[in-house]
Amino acid sequence: MTVAVYLPSEEKTHWWVEMLQGLLPGWDIASIEDIKDRAAVKHAVVWRPRPGDLATFPHLEVIVSIGAGIDHVLADPELPADVPIIRTVGDDLTQRMREYVALHVLRHHRDMPRQLQAQAEKDWHAIVVPVAPNRTVGVMGLGNLGAAAAETLSGLGFATRGWSKSEKTIQGVETYAGAGTLDAFLSGCEILVNLLPLTDATTGILKADLFGKLAPGACVINCARGGHLVDDDLLAALKSGHIKQATLDVFHIEPLPTDHPFWDHPAITVTPHVASQIDAATGGRLIAANLKSFAETGTCPDMADAARGY
Ligand code: OXD
């Protein structure tokens, strides 16, 4: 079985190649750069593949995304048609996202940016905020990561809402389904967490019109994809004060260009796409298990649906 591995960093690619070689003895696993016989490649394990690379493997049977999202694979205009895609999800990824969302929601809920500013000014300024049950938080996207985030927020006591394309039931979470319910979901929402997949329908969804429907002074956390956000609309909403703070983990261009206004904005926290990074040890085990299952049965539990985009 020849497996071609590609990540934008050469160092990381080698790390993953070694990890998978250890987990799949007898399989021929190499970096895309080191593949001699392109016709022998049946499996590609990739993160942000270079456009056109996957099309050079005429007998490709499956593509594995090193991550929960598959948008980075679907973005390849020369992506070979009808090659199934496997996502990489799993408990670690979900746990990391729970932690990131809890951290940033609590930070906005307790107004930590303002509290830190008071400390910088040596100002003994006690900020009193409502208790969590009186704070409405909303999670957009209720896939594995979004559902886990919503569950965690509900567990912390927040009045938690969730919005998704199709009906979902999550204990302790008031769920809304479909475009027709978006306004009701947004109305009164004070902290919004975006965990939607990036599809044609969700690109640019975090825009002026949506921000305007949130409660005045709301906070926005984007830990899905940069393509969900209209950057200038967020800057305008922050300027007007309708949005108070934002935490952004994902960007249109990554790494975020050093001259981008988000870096220096006093009301924006930038994190470098770390909300829920896969580590090679756990991710390697998941990918090896999925590849084995796919090789033996033609499927695995984490098959993505390319037509849906996730
Ligand atoms: C993912 C990500 O898709 O880290 O898993 O963004």
Question: Which residues form the catalytic set?
Answer: 225, 273
pLDDT of residue 278: 85
CATH annotation of 92-270: 3.40.50.720
pLDDT of residue 7: 96
Our answer on whether the CB atom of 69 is closer than 6 Å to any ligand 1 atom is: yes
Tokens 């079985």 belong to residue:
1
Our answer on whether the CB atom of 68 is closer than 6 Å to any ligand 1 atom is: yes
The Å distance, Cα 119 to ligand 1 centre, comes to 35
pLDDT of residue 1: 76
CB 133, CB 225: distance < 8 Å: no
The Å distance, Cα 68 to ligand 1 centre, comes to 5
Through-space distance between the first and last CA atoms of the chain, rounded to whole angstroms: 26
pLDDT of residue 279: 79
In this structure, which CATH number among 3.10.180.10, 3.10.20.600, 3.40.50.720, 3.90.1150.10 belongs to the domain 2-88+278-297?
3.40.50.720
The order of strands in the sheet holding 136-140 is: 173-177, 159-164, 136-140, 191-194, 218-222, 243-248, 268-270
Q: Which amino acid is at 97?
A: M
CA triple 57-280-256, angle to 5 deg: 80
The Å distance, Cα 228 to ligand 1 centre, comes to 14
* Residue ID of nearest Cα to ligand 1 atom 5: 67
pLDDT of residue 45: 98
pLDDT of residue 6: 97
Question: Where does CATH 3.40.50.720 sit in the chain?
Answer: 2-88+278-297, 92-270
What are the per-10-residue average pLDDT scores of the chain (310 residues)? 94 94 96 96 97 97 96 97 95 95 98 97 97 98 97 98 97 98 98 97 98 98 98 98 98 98 98 91 93 97 94
